[in-house]
Structure 1
């Protein structure tokens, strides 16, 4: 009789060796502790356990797990290595997973079945499996193109600084330099990073220092495909070497993090829509969030809410649901009612209770506080985020918003400019420009506000508020015809937009002069008054 297909049994846990595998929760524990295992490796392990007692051909595993997608046998070998590491087996011992050379694999350890053991989460740690599924990033040694320079410490220092700065993004797992020491200089280093260390992304590069001239080249590689996701070259005149290196590190890290985020969302978005696990549901929710549409935001709120329900100990889901909800209030159809704002604040606090050192959680907490017109606490939250991660573009934007709504426009613009400088690859770059434009409108720097809206509108997914800010700035400059033309563009982008609509959506402003300045500009641009109700 053929073994049951994966997923046909429910409420079952398999015990073998010192491990327990909970099929329903897709969780593996070793000696009672959660163990990191990629979803595809987990599927391979389940298939082998279901088929225990017989040899499973490689072709069967490839067809069952990868389907129509073409992959080499080395991909399967990599998953087997990962499984053995996770369950306390080795390729030499083969106490649990045995290789039938040239044919396939057998699961040979004794297995018992029963109800899953409940490992009660503690209030501090909760379910810690999901963070172990986060993408792993490795920073490889930089190749000195002039090894005779006698300055090997330069490349080492650059690498260590990149590792330290990337590690401040708590959703990433960044390997230490010692973890990859044995792979330096190997021709197959990318393949070995993937197969031996489960690294999904690798940062590598070269440097050359001659006289007062420094050249650094950096690239980011997806180890599963070998595809370069991003590359750049930095050429600088060196007067203060460490200042130059700090600038390069800040720029590289502020670019690598959103590029990895985009790759993860793309990967999750390409997965089949059945039997998705929480981590992939979460990233699919972020994928919809970053489309910046009404439909995408609605889907994001729903998916992130699902993640919160399925894994209450997953702090990222709480924080991002709160932010998606607030953004829905500002841009789309979510009503900014007090109860929902209270729930968003509680969700963002719940994330912070899980990880107070996470700069992102402080930024998203600050976003909710801005929506609640609690500008002082929002400023504190974003400043704390910058203490934790000085390269975080969104935190600079959050400080800028907090200062802007308090009327401290010049200070705000310094932070908006920093957010734009660091956020060239951030999916919210258009928003950094747009929020900066609003501060310039409030400061009556209308010409510069128009320039910032022009830059924002050149970015894909830029939203209608950018056009509204431009119409207001043009109207206050007395460029009435241009303002009216821009207002028509605004109504094409957002047909329901009106003065009354803007008044409702600007609920996060508490200074009457800011709101009146904005509405006066809309009136002068001939934006319809709308229904005051």
Structure 2
């Protein structure tokens, strides 16, 4: 603490600035003026979809379409429109096939953050437009967030607003260690102290408290769940149209054993942003931990999450959760495949190895089960049967029993 009672590194209140993006009109490279409506439609739909991301300010169509048909320097466009990112692309039609390319550019450096090419049949042009729009929007969101986390980490403590603190906290969260999550909570709290009306920080700290419970990082899970619920509710009061806030509250409700409210909030998050992969995962997790819901529905939710965000920082969690749902469906060979995929990620948590232990145990492969359980316990020595009984009292009985057979005390 400083002599004035403020934490070391705390900064004076300043406005929280949202990052901004411009979507330039996609270039029609087909040589057919009649295809302009398709290339323009994709650009317009992407503007509409990414406007759902409350943390991102999206330049209006009328401003970005001024550049239609012009050869432009992206960095000049960014300066003119005062944006941090630019999305541009092209459409080329040949017969019954179409090729769509898109690239996301960081304005200051002119560097490419993401690029992708899509080759499709033109069977149903409107369905194709919807698919491409959804896919591009879902793909660029984690890339934008990753860029923001890296940018925030480069800033000094005396030059950060609540957004920067929030992004630094997000980076800490995605490291998934006990120390990193504790650091994230501290940073979220600093963001809240700086701007008490900044809803994402309230949602972020709510999720962080839940991660402490999920990851067995706290000796006081009940108080952490209560805190998660408090901050989740506060986030939704501040911004009930932000899908991240709804997601945070929904997950907190699931761990508070309010399955109906959890389902409502998580479905609302998906309604607000149908490309929000983590909300699909959160809804599937709420069904898994409460034992409510159709397992086939949970499986589809996780398939959607993986399809929507194949580069998501939580991809390992999507995959291990899919392993858990398949285990509940007694599709043990498939379950093991997905747990193996999850375990292959460098930031995979102990849950993936617990899943492998459970699968081996159910197959009667006790030596392998004990080895995987040992790996999980090495990552998190405090794991015990009591932890599962307290945190998931009415769920995952097949999983828990398999771990006990493997030697979990």
The 2-side partners of 1:252 and 1:358 are apart by: 20
The 2-side partners of 1:332 and 1:304 are apart by: 20
**Aligned residue for 1:470?**
356
Q: Secondary structure at the match of 1:151?
A: helix
**Aligned residue for 1:377?**
261
**Aligned residue for 1:223?**
107
**Aligned residue for 1:255?**
139
Deviation at 1:501, TM superposition (A): 4.2
Q: Secondary structure at the match of 1:299?
A: helix
| CA deviation string 1:179-236 (max 9, x = no partner) | 1233334444312232222111111111112221111011000011000000010011
The 2-side partners of 1:493 and 1:350 are apart by: 33
Structure 1 residues 71-82: aligned runs within 5 Å = none
Q: Secondary structure at the match of 1:150?
A: helix
| CA deviation string 1:227-246 (max 9, x = no partner) | 00000100112212221221
Structure 1: 5+ residue stretches without partners: 1-22, 27-128
Structure 1 residues 108-507: aligned runs within 5 Å = 129-130=15-16, 133-148=17-32, 150-404=34-288, 405-406=291-292, 408-504=294-390, 507=391
CA gap of 1:185–1:238, structure 2 versus 1, over 3 A, is closer
Deviation at 1:339, TM superposition (A): 4.0
Q: Secondary structure at the match of 2:99?
A: strand
CA gap of 1:510–1:502, structure 2 versus 1, over 3 A, is closer
The 2-side partners of 1:480 and 1:328 are apart by: 30
Highest Rg: 1 or 2?
Answer: 1
The 2-side partners of 1:494 and 1:461 are apart by: 14
Is 1:519 the counterpart of 2:403 in the alignment? no
The 1-side partners of 2:21 and 2:340 are apart by: 36
Contact 1:437 1:449 (C-alpha < 8 Å) held by counterparts: yes
Number of residues paired by the alignment?
397
Contact 2:319 2:338 (C-alpha < 8 Å) held by counterparts: yes
Higher relative contact order (CA 8 A, sep 6+): 2
Deviation at 1:484, TM superposition (A): 2.1
| CA deviation string 1:495-530 (max 9, x = no partner) | 3334344444xx1x242xx34322321122233x1x
More helix by share: 2
The 2-side partners of 1:501 and 1:340 are apart by: 14
Q: Secondary structure at the match of 1:173?
A: strand
**Aligned residue for 1:99?**
none
The 1-side partners of 2:178 and 2:397 are apart by: 27
Is 1:25 the counterpart of 2:9 in the alignment? no
The 2-side partners of 1:191 and 1:333 are apart by: 44
| CA deviation string 1:249-308 (max 9, x = no partner) | 111111111100000000001112345332211211111111111111000011101211
The 1-side partners of 2:374 and 2:273 are apart by: 41
Q: Once superposed, what is the RMSD of the aligned Cα atoms?
A: 1.9
The 2-side partners of 1:317 and 1:370 are apart by: 20
The 2-side partners of 1:441 and 1:296 are apart by: 30
The 1-side partners of 2:84 and 2:285 are apart by: 35
The 2-side partners of 1:518 and 1:24 are apart by: 49
Q: Secondary structure at the match of 2:157?
A: coil
The 2-side partners of 1:443 and 1:407 are apart by: 13
